[in-house]
Amino acid sequence: MQICDIFVKLWIIVIPISSLVLNQQIPGLTIANILAIFSIFIPGILKNKQYFILLGSVVLIFFIYEIIGQIFIIENDLEINNFGMRLISPDTNLEILRSSLFTQSAYLLCGFLTFLFFYFYYSKNIDKTILYSSIIMCLYGIYEFLYFLIYKESGDFLSNRIFGGVDYINGSFFQTIDIGIYSINKMKSLTGEPSMFAFTMFPYLIFSSYKKELLITLMLITCIFMSLCSTMILGFMIIIIYNRYINKILKKPINLIIFISLLILLSIIILKTDLLSKLIFDKFTTENESTGERFDLLVANFEFFSNVSFLNKIFGVGFGFSRSTDLFTTLLVNVGILGVLLFSAIYLYPVIMLDKSKFNNCLKLILIVNFFLMMISVSEFAYLPSWMFLGIAYKGLSIARGAT
């Protein structure tokens, strides 16, 4: 059992790291994904039949669902190039069993294995390790920030993930922003980009606040703030609204700190910088390159969705077909209306059903923040921290049912 404990703690430490792979030729070969696959051996050692029944059932249902969607593709006669979508696979024909169906399904499997493990085996003994992993992410991000201040170049020496083979795309996108006469880098740490960093760290922020770890909470607020992206603003807004009008989870000092952070941001804006334009106003105009791309992909996905057959509207055209910058239209095209409803139900069921307690309220807020950030701002279903906290939330439901 000691080996299992070491395995779990190592896995938790690397779960938020998404820009480091063991082999650049295989973009999904992160340490966390590898350990997710190996995690299946622990239930095997412990002879947990329920684990394998649930795993097999979900895999079978997913397989049948995908087959249904693939069969109905035959009814369509569409030129994909006419829609301008971002295809995951380079194939330009609407064909069945595209290569991306298998690669993206593998990412999804790693996420589901993470969910299952923490659903069955989460205990409060690993809470400190969860916090340690967030500290590591923050410290690396701070190092990158200071390195850029001194040398005016990226100091990231660990990230090596790439996409696209020969014409590769760096899997950890280094971005800078000008504030007046100063140029600083947006904090991303060991994730794909600043918005991914903010998305990844918000659950840890809420969790550390629940654990009353003030210094860690302060560090997380500061680092998320330094990501300087719209995802950061949206996440803080969701937290403040939830905490103010739905359920008071965060303590007054933490609320005050978040408010002061946003006040500092406003002060910088007032000091005649163009930061407001870059962070907020540009996001609502297509003149901004990033926003223009987001809008184009949104329109392309909706246009494609409106042209497929009725049954493909229900079941989608296959997981891993296309990818937008929001998860809502990504799911709508890939797994259809039914898939969107199922995903939403899986994510929001614990929010509705968990009893009121400090820990459960913490989990509810984590799921709400994750859900809305994914649907609106971050099209990322494969980041394992989301699956970890989702598994912990369902563990809470399981305990409640056992108690009754």
Q: Please compute the mean of the pLDDT values over residues 59-87 and round it to a whole number.
A: 74
Strand 182-185 to 169-170 pairing: unpaired
Instruction: Determine which of 19-28, 31-40, 168-177, 326-335 has the lowest per-residue pLDDT on average.
Output: 168-177
Place of tokens 């029944």: 53
- Overall residue count recorded for the chain in this entry: 404
Token pair recorded at residue 323:
């990818």
Q: Per-residue confidence at 165, pLDDT binned at 50, 70, 90?
A: very low
C-alpha 112/C-alpha 55 separation (Å) is 8
Q: Per-residue confidence at 211, pLDDT binned at 50, 70, 90?
A: very high
Q: Is 182 helix (H, G, I), strand (E, B) or coil?
A: strand
| 311-349 residue pLDDT tens | 888 888 888 778 888 888 889 988 999 999 999 999 999
Q: Is the model's pLDDT at 310 over the cut of 80?
A: yes
Output the pLDDT for position 166: 42
Output the pLDDT for position 74: 66
Place of tokens 């790291």: 17
CB 97 within 8 A of CB 70: yes
Instruction: Determine which of 153-157, 268-272, 345-349 has the lowest per-residue pLDDT on average.
Output: 268-272
C-alpha 63/C-alpha 340 separation (Å) is 17
pTM for the model? 0.88
| 349-384 residue pLDDT tens | 999 899 888 899 999 999 999 999 998 888 888 899
Residue 147 backbone class (left: φ over 0; alpha: ψ -120 to 50; beta: rest):
alpha
Residues 6+ apart with CB under 8 A from 53: none
CB 148 within 8 A of CB 185: yes
CB 8 within 8 A of CB 126: yes
| 384-393 residue pLDDT tens | 999 999 999 9
Token pair recorded at residue 93:
């024909």
Which of 222, 208, 228 shows the shortest CA–CA distance to 139? 222
Q: Per-residue confidence at 288, pLDDT binned at 50, 70, 90?
A: very low
Q: Is the model's pLDDT at 49 over the cut of 90?
A: yes
CB 161 within 8 A of CB 20: yes
